[in-house]
Amino acid sequence: MDFSDSRSAANAATIPPTARSRRQQARERRATETPPPDSGETFWSAPDERKIVTLAGLTKLAATYLPAADVRRIREAYRYSDAAHLGQFRSSGEPYISHPIAVAEICALWKLDADTLMAALLHDVIEDSGAQKEDLVTRFGPEVAELVDGLSKFDRVEFASREHQQAESFRKMLLAMARDVRVILVKLADRLHNMRTLGAVSRDKQRRVARETLEIYAPIANRLGLHKLYNELLDLSFGHQFPWRSKVIGKAVLASRGNRREMLGKVLETVQKKLPEMGVNAEVFGREKTLYGVYRKMRDKRLSFSQVLDIYAFRVIVEDVPACYVALGALHGSFKPVPGRFKDYIAIPKVNGYQSLHTTLVGPHGTPVEFQIRTREMQRINESGVAAHWLYKADKESFSELQMRTHQWLKSLLDIQHQTGDSLEFIENVKVDLFPDAVYVFTPQGQIRALPRGATVIDFAYTVHTDIGDTAVGARINQRSMPLRTELQNGDTVEVVTDPKSHPNPAWLSFVRTGKARAEIRHYLKTVEFGESVELGRRLLEQSLAAVRIDAGSLEPTLLERAARDCGTRSIEDLYAEIGLGKRLAPVVARTVALQIAGRPAAALAIPRPAPIMVHGTEGSAVQYGPCCHPLPGDGVIGHMRGGHGLMVHRDDCASALRLRGKDAERWIEVEWAEDITGLFRVSVELLVADDRGLLGRVAAEIAACEANIVHVAMNEDAGTTANLKFTVQVHDRQHLARVMRRLRAIAQVRRIWRS
């Protein structure tokens, strides 16, 4: 059994023996006394900064699985790249061509095809040497040229800031990845080699690149199932971003090996004896938690190093799936399992295709020990992810489950891009989808949906279909009615309740978790809100023009176009939209127009004073209703133009409205309810009731009988005899609310009822 740190061992190999103390040599010998069984899954060798990469080494590796014709094409790509980078050197002083060769070698260890290896050799020629994509198409074919183009940055384009440039580069790369996953495989290999050799650059750049790797590249590697790469990127990033913390934790892990060796040896001996007795042919070896994994657990759970008990774990590799469950039974028969610490990722794989059984057992001296049980095929897929699947060559009909999930995620990137205009917003939306943890919920038909931890009903609705998300009004989770912001838990069965008249609410953005849901909501709000704001702005400007005795219908279009230019907008529609959103005040724009037509009486007609703005209830997000007072049709109302947020309608006796009117009186306008009012409006109703069994159900039934929809319920108990119930319900108008309240007042236990 060996729990040695391959990274530490590799670094030690670069130090001459005379430079190390005898104590250090003895410690290293003790840490590597018994070599671990070979798992057969070496995807790249441990980083060795002294290693000199050569074309001969690359072609020798490629020749083990590619035909001779492909190896000749790789040599041709090398010659082109070598000429393009001639005279260029890395920060370490090495010729620049050593970097593309190293990247191609990592791709060859993944056994990627010749086009990918050629793209790896050429991945910087457009960016660093001015080579043209058309030249690459002529020399190496369109497939290689597309891969190289997807890997190139936007260095020659002017952007407002470095952040925008970086975001645009990421967006281009991720969209290229959505079309061909080999783009990101080459990029991850590129980032891995850069991280291995990051010590040659300045400390500021080390920290910046390490942070970028932690936020973007490592999560992508994990999302694609490249766990070995993921762990190495985490440890390298941690070492460069927090070098002192990394060294301290590394020393503590090294010291703890000896302290726990006896206990782990006893566990290993028991397991290796028990499994054959149960007829299970298995390999058992130790796995050590990464340094970053230890640090993250200490940070997130506020633990000291001595309190992190799962630094070491065992991995059991068996022949087939039934053997996994037999091995699990053997382990549970040998040691007591820790309740609540068993996870079956074979029956329900993780979103990135990871499959394994996880269980935690109570070992000697009460120390918990984790076991991971999997087949050889699961081990191969868990380590190499999509690199083992040739996703880009498979037909859709022959996709495995992992391939289908990855394909769906890559397709979702295109959906997010379609709904997102800004690069920074696109990257933020993608980041929220790169969570390593997930919850698994079921549709009513029994299909499994994987969502990020913390995802809500709205996130689930948008994974099913955009139209379901757009029209969602509630949900039934495990047969219980729940609000849209409810966070989903593993195993929930979710049914979304929709209403064709419902639309996305801006408040949803405060609790959705997935990038697709966020992008779809923002897209709807941008497109629909613009049209609604234009219509509202037109009505507001007509009202203000009428106040200065100008008939908007008789104005020449050129006058309004000139007013739009004077206000700094591109068109009349943009001017209307800014007025409707409250960014500009209609009376100010009206005065601007009036000044332009001074001395032209034909354009100014004497018309009556304007009527108030009419609210129809169908204006959507351009017109909202005050959550402080919940106005209903029939209430006296007044409107407040909020800068950038449209018109907010309050009751005219609302305390918040009365307080705000004294501060910015010019933003308040007269509004009235239209006669053809439609839609449902929220209102809060409170009841003081005698506490009685089943009363809440009777009250809810009476509200439902009046065709009112319950949105939220809260209850506060007094001294055991009475309770205060607060319902948020949806009604059509004051008369509808009055019917609801009369029906509730007839319940014997209701002592008092009022609108809050």
Could you read off the pLDDT of 81-101 as tens digits, one per residue? 999 888 888 888 888 999 999
This prediction has a pTM of 0.53
Give me the mean pLDDT over the 191-216 stretch: 88
Of 188-192, 407-411, 667-671, the poorest mean pLDDT is in 407-411
* Helix, strand, coil share (%) of the chain residues, nearest 5: 50, 15, 30
Give me the mean pLDDT over the 185-214 stretch: 88
Give me the helices (H) in 443-514, please. 457-464, 466-470
Q: How confident is residue 414, by pLDDT bands cut at 50, 70 and 90?
A: low
- The pLDDT value given to residue 50: 44
The alpha carbon torsion through 168, 171, 172, 176 (nearest 10 deg) reads: 180
- The pLDDT value given to residue 217: 83
Q: Angle at Cα 6 formed by Cα 5 and Cα 8, nearest 5°?
A: 65
Q: Does residue 460 surpass a pLDDT of 80? A: yes
Q: How confident is residue 80, by pLDDT bands cut at 50, 70 and 90?
A: very high
What does the alpha-carbon distance between residue 109 and residue 436 come to, in Å, rounded to a whole number? 25
Give me the mean pLDDT over the 515-524 stretch: 80
Question: Residue 671's beta-bridge partner residues?
Answer: 613
Residue 56, burial from CB neighbour count under 10 angstroms (0-12, 13-18, 19+) = exposed
- The pLDDT value given to residue 158: 43
- The pLDDT value given to residue 353: 72
Give 637 or 546, the one with higher predicted confidence. Answer: 637
37 three-class SS: coil
* Nearest by Cα to 191 from 172, 212, 205: 212
- Beta strands (DSSP E) in 499-582 are none
Candidate list 28, 70, 94, 128, residue with the active-site label: 128
- The pLDDT value given to residue 732: 86
Query: CA dist 625 to 621, 628, 673, 726, Å?
Result: 10, 9, 12, 19
- Rounded to 5 degrees, φ, ψ at 196 are -65, -25
Give me the mean pLDDT over the 593-605 stretch: 56
- Give me the numbers of helices (H) and strands (E) for the chain, helices first please: 29, 20
Give me the helices (H) in 389-514, please. 401-419, 423-431, 457-464, 466-470
CA 694 and chain centroid, separation: 42
Q: How confident is residue 259, by pLDDT bands cut at 50, 70 and 90?
A: low
- The pLDDT value given to residue 392: 38
- The pLDDT value given to residue 8: 35
Give me the mean pLDDT over the 167-195 stretch: 75
Give 383 or 208, the one with higher predicted confidence. Answer: 208
- The pLDDT value given to residue 516: 79
- The pLDDT value given to residue 482: 84
- The pLDDT value given to residue 403: 54
Give me the mean pLDDT over the 209-215 stretch: 86
Could you read off the pLDDT of 550-571 as tens digits, one per residue? 777 777 777 777 777 777 677 7
What are the chain's domains?
A: 36-152+182-241 (1.10.3210.10), 245-387 (3.30.460.10), 401-521 (3.10.20.30), 681-755 (3.30.70.260)
Q: Does residue 629 surpass a pLDDT of 70? A: yes
| 127 labelled catalytic | yes
With a CB cutoff of 8 Å and minimum separation 6, the contacts of 377 are none
| Percent of the chain whose pLDDT exceeds 70 | 75
DSSP letters spanning 266-290: HHHHHHHHHHHHTT---EEEEEE--
| Percent of the chain whose pLDDT exceeds 90 | 6
Tokens of 281: 């042919």
Handedness of CA 184, 187, 191, 192 (dihedral sign): positive
Could you read off the pLDDT of 291-322 as tens digits, one per residue? 888 888 888 888 888 777 667 788 899 988 89
59-62: Cβ within 8 A, 24+ apart: 61/105, 61/108, 61/109, 62/108, 62/114, 62/117
Among 174-188, 247-261, 378-392, 410-424, the range with the most confident prediction by mean pLDDT is 247-261
What does the alpha-carbon distance between residue 298 and residue 245 come to, in Å, rounded to a whole number? 12
| 128 labelled catalytic | yes
Mean pLDDT, the chain, rounded, equals 76
Is 482:474 a contact under the CB 8 Å cutoff? yes
Q: What DSSP character marks residue 511? A: T
Give 6 or 636, the one with higher predicted confidence. Answer: 636
What does the alpha-carbon distance between residue 577 and residue 532 come to, in Å, rounded to a whole number? 8
What does the alpha-carbon distance between residue 104 and residue 626 come to, in Å, rounded to a whole number? 60
Q: Does residue 204 surpass a pLDDT of 60? A: yes
Candidate list 127, 143, 495, 686, residue with the active-site label: 127
Handedness of CA 223, 225, 231, 236 (dihedral sign): negative
DSSP letters spanning 312-365: EEEEEEESSHHHHHHHHHHHHHHSEEPTT--EETTTS--TT----EEEEEE-GG
